[in-house]
Structure 1
Amino acid sequence: MATQLKNLSDFSETDVPSAAPYHFGIVVAEWNAEITNALYQGAYESLLEHGALIDNIFTYSVPGSFELIAGADILLKNKKLDAVICLGCVIQGETRHFDFICDAVANGISNVSLKYSKPVIFGVLTTDNQQQAIDRAGGKHGNKGVEGAVTAIKMANLFETLNS
């Protein structure tokens, strides 16, 4: 089915384990706040819906998507967490800045995950325009924050299963 016709955040066909035993970090970029706040609400509410305890969710803001990398690293260094969800939004502009930031953020988040052997979830929108971001932050294509939360729960459960 074409992306334009699909809600990408539909998990009705997926089993999501309980989030109750896990501790989560959420790092949210302040840049493009209208979008990132919607992503955060989706992630936070989804964690709670799946049984996460309020006291087991640690949220921190960073200035922009590039800083998500350091934010996730600091969180994992200082808190006992099972997964970290990184939420940001980079919208294509007129310069190549978009390409450099998107590439650096994707690689940096991957590196933090490998460094700590913990799931660090890439919940960063990389869109051509504002409308595409709105559509993926609670609009017609769902909410990437919800997807990030479900991914974090499933990965925390996988890590627990394989390490026990």
Structure 2
Amino acid sequence: MSSTVNEPSVVDGGAFTVRRSILISAPIEKVWSAVSEPAHISRWFGRAVLHGSGVGAHGTLTFDGGRAVPVRIEHVEEPRVISYRWTNDDARDVLPEQVDVEHSTVVTFTLENASGGTRLTVVETGFETLADPAADLETHRTGWNVELDKLVDLLEGAS
């Protein structure tokens, strides 16, 4: 278990966003790998499969007991910023690896050097395009708390 304690995710209902900023006692390169490389993403988030790399790379995220969620890389500024668009609205019927641009959210990971490690800020936007924005905002707020705590434990335990 890590010793770092971070604040929980925050929902901005007016802007339809979920945000969480955490400190990880690990170098920026290690955090970058954890949020940008499928093999590392699969260790803390969901089983990640990406075809290609960089902007436009696409694939799926599969969570325990869940369906494959289509995902695509939207923006990269290595090793500081990476954004993924994902179709995560269960009300939408999409083909595997086909991101539904009109009914999806974008999650952006921003990394900064910080005293004692790396400051990682995650902002997910676009909930207004989903079938039940209020429920999805709350589900993702809770989800980012759990998933990012797993990331901290993984990286600090392996430091």
TM-score norm. by structure 1 comes to 0.33
What is the TM-score with the length of structure 2 in the denominator?
0.34
Structure having the larger proportion of residues in helix: 1
Structure with greater proportional strand content = 2
